[in-house]
Amino acid sequence: MTFDVITIGSATRDVFLISDAFKIIRSPEFTTGLGECLNLGSKNPVEDILFTTGGAATNCAVTFARARLKVASICRVGDDEAGHEIIKSLKHENIETRFVQVDQEKHTAYSTLLLYKGGERTILVYRGVANELDAKKIPWSKLKSKWIYVSALGGRTDLLKKILSVAKSKKIKIAWNPGGAELSFGFLKLLPCFQKADVLNINREEAAKLFNLPFDNLAEILRRAKELPCKYTIITDGIRGAYVCCSGQVFHANSYGGKPKNTTGAGDAFGSGFVSGLILGRDVKDALRLGIWNSGLVVKHMGAKAGIWKRLPAEKDLNKVKVTLK
């Protein structure tokens, strides 16, 4: 079978804890200047709890599948209840799971998300086997796809280079949403990877660090992004929307959907929504609208998958997302 897209990256079991007991404290002790805190030694009520699945490989796969594309996912889980639930959820979405690796000894990745009432969250992460994909167990010769969507690989440049090499040999297009571990290698070491990617998807903070620029210098960040060798370079900017650099131009769309309830999975929803547009033959403006629309739906719901579009939006709805040329 030839797939429209294969996603590669992490798969996790997520639990969301929503409580009014969480307090935001300003302090230089926290790297962000803000801490989400509880009284030490206290017992605190949780108003709501939600179990779901996450990880970029599975989140993005659901977006593609609901766009009626043929999708497979490559990720690694444990032979445990969490791993079984992830595979079950993928099958429910008609996503091919034959390439999912099951570790017989170690555990599935697990995230506990502490939700503050304003929609922001702090995440406690157990990585488990999420970053331990075995390249030797991926049947490279059998991978037939128009696109590969690569997300965070835990700094596994060996695996990234193998993916890029196979994609080039098979003329498969690459969309790449690197994680912090990959970006930490710096611009010069990553440049050969940028040259092989059709779509690069990073957020504004990541772009500022990559280019060694102040976060506030958006104009220079976008200028540098335009110079990258990727056909499409995406800079997402939270509630301020997203920018797409393409053919020397910069397109922008504001976020859509009002105040977010929860931001988990918004980046995955945008990136996979944008690439869905490209796979379906849409132009860059429509692809940008699709990314904004999908992420706008996701932030209205708890969990990374609950709000993903059930189907592609109608043209009259898509046109509500305004795209401007910067």
User: Which of 114-123, 157-166, 178-187 bottoms out in mean pLDDT, i.e. has the lowest?
Assistant: 114-123
| Percent of the chain's residues with pLDDT above 90 | 80
- 118 pLDDT higher than 70: no
CATH 3.30.200.20 corresponds to the domain 3-7+54-109+134-325? no
What's the mean pLDDT when you consider all of the chain?
Answer: 93
CA distances from residue 20 to 11, 38, 115, 200, 325 in whole angstroms, order as listed: 29, 10, 9, 38, 42
- Contact partners, residue 107, CB within 8 Å, separation at least 6: 78, 80, 82, 126, 128, 129
Are the beta carbons of 143 and 162 closer than 8 angstroms? no
The pLDDT value recorded for residue 302 is 81
Beta strand 232-236 with 242-246 is: antiparallel
- 47 pLDDT higher than 90: no
User: Which of 42-56, 142-156, 171-185, 208-222 bottoms out in mean pLDDT, i.e. has the lowest?
Assistant: 42-56
Measured distance CA(64)–CA(7) in Å, rounded? 9
pLDDT confidence bin for 71, thresholds 50/70/90: very high
- 31 pLDDT higher than 80: no
- 219-223 average pLDDT score: 96
pLDDT confidence bin for 21, thresholds 50/70/90: confident
The pLDDT value recorded for residue 194 is 95
The pLDDT value recorded for residue 261 is 77
The pLDDT value recorded for residue 119 is 63
pLDDT confidence bin for 32, thresholds 50/70/90: confident
Measured distance CA(159)–CA(141) in Å, rounded? 15
111-137 b/e with 16+ CB inside 10 Å = b? Answer: bebbbbeeeebeeeeeebbbbebeeee
- 107-121 average pLDDT score: 83
Q: Which helix (H) or strand (E) holds 225?
A: helix 218-227
